Structure 1
Amino acid sequence: MKDLQKLVSGLNKSGALSGLLGGVAGGGVSSLLSSKKGKKTGKKAVKYGALAAVGGLAWKAYKQYSEQNEAAAQQRDSAAFDKAMATRSQPTRHFDFKPATIQEHSFEQVVEDESGSGQLLLMRAMIAAAYADGHIDDNERQKIFAQVETMTLSVQEKAMLFDELRQPMSLSELVQAVPNAQTGIEVYAASASAIDLQQTISQQYLQTLANQLCIPKELVHSIHQQLAEL
């Protein structure tokens, strides 16, 4: 199994990730783990690093969303789904984001899956988002490649990372790769944490991602609130 956390940290050092994930990948998870419940996530972070931090952030955002929106959530989720159906030409992924229906262990399993598929998907989401904001031109890309060459990665790991950097997933490919609601929340959180949120193109990318995953706007707001607290 490849050390995907090492790849994420290396991407941050190379400059590929320009958003809030820089602090997370660099070890700045203290604010995320400051609560009593955060201590459990902290133990996971020792093993899974930034990827565990993203999972913990996604869970906290979903929990906050649940506590604030449980009463009228079903109606809002239905409206969000109908809106997404009306604005999309492609088939819509429809997941159940109703408050309190997803348990914390489900978020943990995305990162802890022994196959590494969840970890890989989050890393690919980060790379796709980093490219979406238009900040990585050919010159910057070559600098990133040069930095990756200096990283302590195996030949296989470098090849995997180069492939992703040369041809990141499209937004539609990313959405189709999301298997369930909890992974969708983590994919969105990872994308938002790896992108420059001040850029209009970044905001448009995230809005489209949320729409195609049918994530309710209240849950999106909770995710961004958790990111702002890092």
Structure 2
Amino acid sequence: MKDLQKLVGNLNKSGALSGFLGGVAGGGLTSLVAAKSSKKTAKKTLKYGALAAVGGLAWKAYQQYSEQHKNTQPQVNKHTNNFDFTPAKMAEHSFTQVVADDNGNGQLLLMRAMIAAAYADGHIDETERQKIFAQVEEMDLSVHEKAMLFDELRKPMSLSELVQAVPDAQTGIEVYAASASAIDLKQPVSGQYLNVLANQLCLPQQLVQSIHQQLAD
């Protein structure tokens, strides 16, 4: 699994966070990624910054997809979900709401997606495990939330369980972005995992490509 702080820095440099963090917390998080560091600020940056970075990346990818495919018809697969990825239909605030969810469901789902993706090859070695433990411990989470994530490390969500937990299209885009950001894309099994995830979420291939392009920038 990639370092969440490094992810924040990379996406901030790429512009994926521009304007997005302000939407998550009324501008409060924008200053958090500017490296003004108190211990409390650092915790909030790690808790929200990386997840907001994923949301910002997902929004930027959706914007790019919308610009390139303005006349694309809605893609809905009634056998799996009713998600509608029509270009330019979803607003930025619908992406920020996933991370800004007051009860934390959106934030935890993205973390669970990252953990599930890290398990795509069937295991996480001890070094990776300790790295994840350290990241979760640094996050400003409740005891219950931390316990939930540690349980995920012992028994991560299956891909089908993850897909079933996705409530809407914008969350689906963010779940895919979170998964792709946490996985080793050089491994064949990683590509297979992401292909199945994209298919089950009914993500248009052009949107998937936009997400990967944002991650590569």
Q: Same fold (TM over 0.5)?
A: yes
CA–CA distance in 1 between the matches of 2:137 and 2:206? Answer: 42
Task: Give the AA of the match of 1:93.
Answer: N
Cα distance in 2 between the residues matched to 1:126 and 1:207 = 15
Q: Which amino acid aligns with 2:21?
A: T
Matched, 1:30 2:12: yes
- Give, in whole Å, the separation in 2 of the partners of 1:126 and 1:179: 17
Q: Does 1:100 align with 2:88?
A: yes
Q: Distance in 1 between matches of 2:100 and 2:133?
A: 31
User: By how many angstroms is 1:164 displaced?
Assistant: 1.0
**Alignment length, in residue pairs?**
196
CA shift in 2, pair 1:145/1:130, >3 Å: closer
What letter is aligned with 1:23?
A: K
Structure 1 residues 155 and 67 mapped into 2: Cα distance closer, same or farther (>3 Å)?
Answer: closer
**TM-aligned CA distance change 1:23 to 1:98, over 3 Å:** same
SS in 1 for 2:152: helix
Aligned-partner Cα distance in 2 for 1:121–1:150:
17
- SS in structure 2 at match of 1:95: coil
Of the three residues 97, 101, 105, the one matched with 1:113 is: 101
Choose from 197, 201, 207 the match for 1:219.
207
Deviations 1:108-134 (A, max 9, x none): 000001011100100000000011134
Deviation at 1:136, TM superposition (A): 1.2
TM-score normalized with structure 1 length: 0.74
Separation in structure 2 between the aligned mates of residue 227 and residue 142 of structure 1, nearest angstrom: 23
Gaps of 5+ in 1: 1-16, 86-90
RMSD: 2.8
Matched to 1:30, the amino acid is N
Instruction: Give aligned-pair identity as a percent.
Output: 63
Q: Against the structure 1 CA distance between its residues 98 and 154, is the aligned structure 2 distance closer, same or farther, given a 3 Å change threshold?
A: closer
Aligned partner of 2:56 in structure 1 is 56
Is the aligned partner of 1:188 residue 2:176? Answer: yes
Give the corresponding residue for 2:193.
205
Counterpart secondary structure, 2:119: helix
TM-score where L is the length of structure 2: 0.79
How far 1:24 sits from its partner (Å)?
Answer: 1.1
Contact 1:22 1:194 in 2 (8 A): no
